[in-house]
Chains A and B, each alone.
Chain A
Amino acid sequence: MTPASPPALTAMLRRPYRYIRLEWNAEFAALRVRTCVKPIQCYSLAAMGELQRVFADIAESAGLVKHFVMTSDVPGVFNFGGDLSLFVLLIRARDLDSLRMYGRRCVDLVWWMENASQLGVHTTVLVQGDTLGGGLESVLPFHKVIFERSAQAGFPEVLFNLFPGMGAWNFTIRKAGFSVANEMILSGRLYTADQLFRRHLADVVVEDGEGEAALSAVVNSVHPRLRGTLAALEARRVAAPITYATLMQIVEQWTESAMTLTDRDLRLMERLARAQVRKAGGAEEGAVEAIKRIELDTAWGEERTGVTEWAALT
C-alpha cells in the first residue's frame, strides 16, 4: 500500500480479519489472500464470511484488483475442506436449514471465482500441502492452479457415505472430463500433484519450495496479456458453461444426503476431523494418512478378516 492508494484499497486492506491475511502488490494490482483458519485449516463459517467480505470488496471496486492469489499459511495443509465437526453437530441436531445455508455459502464463493473474469480479475492458487474435499473444490475454479510436488488432494467424502457437493462434479468435468470426475469422486482416492497434472486439474507442478517463484511467474506472464486472457476465459465459460442453478441443485442434494448419514458415518467423519486436528497440531500423520488407512482397509481388510475400520467404529 502506498500513500496514494485509493481509499477503497486502503479500506479493503485495513479490515480486521482473523483467519486471513491480505497482501497487496501494487505493480501488478495483485491481491494475495493467505489463509490460516484456527484451530483447523478448513472452510469454517467464520472463515468463509471473511473471504466473502474480500470478494465483495473486490466486486465493489471494479478494476482495482487485477490478480487474485490464494495461498495457505499453514505448513503442510492447503485446506481440509468442509468443517466436518460442524457437519456432525448440525446433522445430529437435524438442522437441515443451517446445513443447506453452509452449502450455499460455499457455492457462493465458488460462483464468485467462476465469475472473476467478468470482474476483470485473473485468479491463481498455490497449493503447498494437503487439500481435501471442499479444499480441492475451492481450488478447481481458479484460472491457474499450481501444486507443489508433495501436495496431495482428493474427494474422500464417499468414504463416509457423502459426496462433494460444492462444485466438484461441475469443475472436474469441465477440466478433466466425465470419466475422471467419476473416478475421483466415486473412489474417494487421494491423488499426487503429478496425478492431478496428468488429469489436467493442476496446471503447473513444481518442486517443493518453488511454489512462490511459480506464482510470481504466472502473474508476470499473464499480466501483460491480461485483457486477452480474461476474454478467452470468458469464452471458455460460454463453451463449457457451469450454472449457478446446477450448483445449487447439487448442494440441495448434498444437504439431503448429509441428513441421511448414520451414526457410523458420523463417527468416521469425526475420526477424520480428529486426524485433521493432529495434523494441524504439527503431527506427521493427519487426515491424509487416516484416509489412506481407511481406503486400504476398505479394499483389503474386510475381505481378509471381516474386521474393518468401519466395523471398529460401530
Chain B
Amino acid sequence: MLPFFVDLVTRTDEARREFETNPVVLEAVANGMSVERYRKLLLELYHVVWHFNPVTAAAASRVPDSHRQVRYFLYEHMQEESGHEEWVMNDLQAVGVEPAATRAHAAGIHTLALNGYNYWSADRRHPCSVLGMMYALEVIASVYGGPFASAIRESLLLEGERGVSFISSHATMDTEHMAELRILLNTITDDEARDAIAESTLVNFHHFTRLFESI
C-alpha cells in the first residue's frame, strides 16, 4: 500500500499539473504581472486567507477522536496562520489599495466557490478534507511562491519584501509546512478520509486555477 502522501500526489497529479501548466500561471511566474492584475490577485487572496482559519476551525471542531492527531495539527496550523490576512492587506497598501477598500472588496465568483466548497466539505463531507485545501495551497505557495514573488518584485519595481511579503514569506514557510503535512497525511489510513482529502485537493486546485485565470 502506498504511503498516503505519495498516493495523494499521484491521485491529484493532473489537477496540480493543470495549475502548473496554465498559460496565465506560467506567464505570471516568468514575467510577473501588471499592478492592476496584482491588486486583483491580492484582493482575492485576502478572502482566501481570511477564511482559512475559520474553515480550519470548522474542520477541527468536527474531527472525530479517531483522528485526534489531525485536530492537534490543525490547532498548531491555525496558530501559525493567524493574522496573515494583515500581511496581504499590508502588501495591498504597498501597491495602492487602502485597508478599507480591501475589507470592502467583494470576492469574485471563483473565490466564493473555493471558500464555499471548503466550508461545505469540512461540515458535510469529512473534516479531514481540510487537509486537501492545505496541501493544494502549500504546493502552490512552496513551488511557485518564490519565483512568482521575484517576478512581481521585478515587474513592479518593488523593493525588498514591500508588496510581496505574504507570497514571499509563504514560499519559504510552506516548504516546512509541506514536510509536516506529509508526516500527518501518512498517518491517515481510512479510505473515507483519504477520498475526501483527495477530492478537496482536486477542487482546490481547480478553483485556484480558475481564480488565477480570472484576474
Chain A residues within CB distance 8 Å of chain B = 38-40, 44-46, 85-86, 88-90, 92-95, 97-98, 101-102, 263, 267, 270, 273-274, 277-278, 280-281
| Bound Cα distance from A278 to B147, whole angstroms | 17
Question: Is B143 touching A101 in the complex (CB atoms < 8 A)?
Answer: no
What residues on A are CB-neighbors of B9 within 8 Å? 45, 86, 89-90, 98
Question: Is B179 touching A38 in the complex (CB atoms < 8 A)?
Answer: no
| Bound Cα distance from A92 to B135, whole angstroms | 13
Question: Is A98 touching B143 in the complex (CB atoms < 8 A)?
Answer: no
Nearest CB on A from B23, distance (A):
8
Question: Is A95 touching B20 in the complex (CB atoms < 8 A)?
Answer: no
Nearest CB on A from B141, distance (A):
11
Contact of A92 among B16, B147, B175 (CB under 8 A): B175
Decide if B13 is an interface residue (CB 8 Å cutoff): yes
Decide if B26 is an interface residue (CB 8 Å cutoff): yes
Q: Which residue of B lies closest to A312 (CB)?
A: B150
Instruction: Supply 7 A–B pairs (Cβ within 8 Å), ascending by A.
Output: A44-B13, A86-B13, A92-B142, A93-B179, A277-B17, A277-B20, A280-B21
What residues on B are CB-neighbors of A45 within 8 Å? 6, 9-10, 13
Question: Is B20 touching A85 in the complex (CB atoms < 8 A)?
Answer: yes
| Bound Cα distance from A46 to B6, whole angstroms | 11
**Main DSSP-derived SS at the B contact region:** helix
Q: A86-B9, A95-B182, A274-B29 are in contact. List 6 more A-B contacts (CB 8 A).
A: A44-B10, A46-B13, A85-B143, A93-B5, A270-B143, A277-B20
Given A90-B6, A98-B6, A270-B147, A85-B181 contact (CB < 8 Å): no
Decide if B146 is an interface residue (CB 8 Å cutoff): yes
Contact of B26 among A89, A101, A277 (CB under 8 A): A277
What residues on A are CB-neighbors of B3 within 8 Å? 95, 97-98, 101
Given A101-B6, A277-B20, A89-B139 contact (CB < 8 Å): yes
Decide if B178 is an interface residue (CB 8 Å cutoff): yes
Total chain B interface residues with beta-carbon distance under 8 A = 27
Decide if B161 is an interface residue (CB 8 Å cutoff): no
Question: Is B20 touching A93 in the complex (CB atoms < 8 A)?
Answer: no
Question: Is A93 touching B178 in the complex (CB atoms < 8 A)?
Answer: yes
Question: Is A89 touching B143 in the complex (CB atoms < 8 A)?
Answer: yes
Question: Is A94 touching B17 in the complex (CB atoms < 8 A)?
Answer: no
Within 8 A of A (CB), among B167-188: 175, 178-179, 181-182
What residues on A are CB-neighbors of B2 within 8 Å? 101
Nearest CB on A from B139, distance (A):
7
Nearest CB on A from B120, distance (A):
27
Nearest CB on A from B167, distance (A):
16
Nearest CB on A from B194, distance (A):
15
Given A39-B14, A86-B13, A95-B21 contact (CB < 8 Å): no
What residues on B are CB-neighbors of A102 within 8 Å? 6
| Bound Cα distance from A38 to B6, whole angstroms | 18
Contact of B18 among A39, A94, A97 (CB under 8 A): A39
Question: Is B5 touching A95 in the complex (CB atoms < 8 A)?
Answer: yes
Nearest CB on B from A5, distance (A):
32
